Chains A and B, each alone.
Chain A
């Protein structure tokens, strides 16, 4: 019961954060709302007994991602943010999104699984699997990271007289 209350609180935080991202008129506020939503997600992870991933979430999202986004904000002009905020055909978007939400929720209710049987995934098992069974995809993922790194550098590198 307590966990449910905590869950509702955290969910509210997450949703407020998310809403902040899309409704905020100030981009800095928006990025901090994102931080809130991401940290909330980490909280949900904890509630669902996935501590390791919660830590990862905080480290990568809360730390790296938001930082990077803030850097990006700093490197670009945000004076004309007002004109960048919302566009005039938002009602269509809102309608479609609502429809999608309804569809999703109906779908969720139709495929409902009644369970409250929370359980832990053993970290040792998880790490064993990750490095044995999923070893090759894991390595590939690291390769992708490397490629992305190089790619980002290449994209941002000034190419001589190219302007």
Chain B
């Protein structure tokens, strides 16, 4: 019965949004409970769906309601259920559930407590729809609503200038990608005449789309994915988005919304696989982002920003995997990363909750004694992401590296390994600075967070440890990779050893630098490579560049257009022409001499002209 109820989770979340939005002000607690209850129901439904899905041979189900019908063009709400969407559904409902439970405690006492949960419901509804819907236009529909949810949650504390600016930045940046995405979708529609994903694949496989259109449209779709997944030129919104409440970062900017881009590319993989140039581009962007964001994560002092850059970096890793058509490894890493990163963000939230919102890691240190649960779970998360065997992060990263090695060869693998090294380094740096070392005096009164917050942490930590089981073969379950892509996972021992060594080197390096406090290396770096350090600390000045482009070019241009409109179109085009008529009137009125004879003569003259004209014609 599970599969036939797939349409229920988005609907109940949507209903929950409406209900809680209407009553959020009056009864905030009730709205939070409604929201948590609906997401819990969704999660339970997911379990039913999963069991049903595993036990049946069904690849996808159809379930359609018309949204717009214009003669032969139908846009219908339908569900595409395959292993990919089931997986994503599980990740989303699980993380959303845990984050919402966590938020009950975290957001307690906030003046817009109820509203927070209603937006969460909206977001959950939209996100679930994105992964379930079988239709590109409606995918875009939900995709945009996801953006709206993110906008509302980042700008949740809109009184803060930074928060409202960050929300705006996030929305506009992703919107630029969305413009491309929409154009891409419509281009596909233009040549296939349908939005239905499986029909599009069918047509594309039979060569129904010309190569140029295919390349352009997949490129545009990838631009949309880049916007949502914060890939290189569009990455600027994600670190700023940390202005939102921390659980929001855990949900949206670690596990779900940013994963939507990866999901989109994975979903459209049959199209991408027909466009090799675009795949190369995907690899390039993914790899570049992987390393590029990793460098920035090393130098940031804000705990959430470090995590944000780490997220960008890992999303780059997934994109790279997708570029090599490694859908299964990318999605596996997506899940593992989502869970670990959610854990890290929630841990950071737990720190901030106890430290009055402090996010600067230089003011932390030695917190492992004060907040043991937070600390341990946090360490588990970071070790998992750093790729230490046998935590799940290791397996997923390794699976991607293997794909890269097999498809791209050593030339791509080496930079990817460098990125992996960076990723281990900054994770350990973060952990060591925050939880080890000496306790700062200001932090002596810090204690452990309440149970509602630590419980999700513990659950997530357990998952981070045991998720790797998914990869293994257990009875009838042949492993996650098989689940997604139909072929079994395999391990390359050499690669395992090598990447493990790298991770341990990073661990030791971080230990020397941050625990033993051997400042030598850092001082050397900071003094000799000052320009480089500043460059990275200032995020490569990309934000400034964009700000410059927006302020100096776009806004200037807009002001020019506005001025042009007022001065040229209006004042010269309209007012001057009316003035010229007035001027003409001033001159022409002199004809009115008031002398009757003149009038009589001109009248006769006019009469003659009329007659003659008539006669000639």
Contact = CB atoms under 8 A, between A and B. Distances in A.
A and B touch in their complex, CB below 8 angstroms: yes
Interface of A: 87, 89, 92-93, 96-97, 99-100, 103, 107
A93 B601 contact: yes
A96 B611 contact: no
Interface stretch (B42-50, B449-457, B602-610): B602-610
Nearest to A102: B608
Given A92-B601, A93-B597, 4 more contacts: A87-B597, A89-B597, A96-B605, A100-B607
Contacts of A103: 608, 611-612, 615
Contacts of B601: 92-93, 96
A103 B608 CA distance: 8
Contacts of B604: 96-97, 100
A23 to B, nearest CB: 17
Contacts of B612: 103
Interface in B577-617: 597, 601, 604-605, 607-608, 611-612, 615
A95 B601 CA distance: 11
B525 to A, nearest CB: 101
B605 to A, nearest CB: 6
A92 to B, nearest CB: 6
Nearest to B597: A87
Contacts of B607: 100
A42 B7 CA distance: 104
A92 B601 CA distance: 8
Nearest to A106: B615
Name which of A87, A89, A96 has the most chain B CB atoms within 10 A of its CB: A96
Name which of B604, B607, B612 has the most chain A CB atoms within 10 A of its CB: B604
Q: For the complex, would chain B's binding face be called helix, strand, loop or mixed by DSSP majority?
A: helix
Contacts of B597: 87, 89, 93
Contacts of A96: 601, 604-605, 608
A99 B615 CA distance: 14
Closest 9 CB pairs of A and B: A96-B604, A103-B611, A99-B608, A100-B608, A100-B604, A93-B601, A96-B605, A92-B601, A87-B597
Nearest to A92: B601
A94 B615 CA distance: 22
Nearest to A103: B611
A92 B597 CA distance: 11
Contacts of B605: 96
Nearest to A110: B615
Contacts of A100: 604, 607-608
Nearest to A96: B604
Contacts of B615: 103
A140 to B, nearest CB: 28
Contacts of B611: 103, 107
A97 B603 CA distance: 12
A97 B605 CA distance: 9
A103 B611 CA distance: 8
A2 to B, nearest CB: 37
A126 B15 CA distance: 91
A124 to B, nearest CB: 40
A123 B601 CA distance: 41
Nearest to B600: A93
Nearest to A99: B608
A97 B601 CA distance: 9
A97 B604 CA distance: 8
A92 B598 CA distance: 11
7 contacts: A89-B597, A93-B597, A93-B601, A97-B604, A103-B608, A103-B612, A107-B611
B616 to A, nearest CB: 12
A97 B612 CA distance: 14
Contacts of B608: 96, 99-100, 103
Contacts of A92: 601
A71 to B, nearest CB: 23
Nearest to B602: A96
A64 B605 CA distance: 34
A92 B615 CA distance: 22
A96 B615 CA distance: 17
Contacts of A87: 597
A21 B607 CA distance: 24
B95 to A, nearest CB: 93
A93 B608 CA distance: 13
Nearest to A93: B601
Contacts of A89: 597
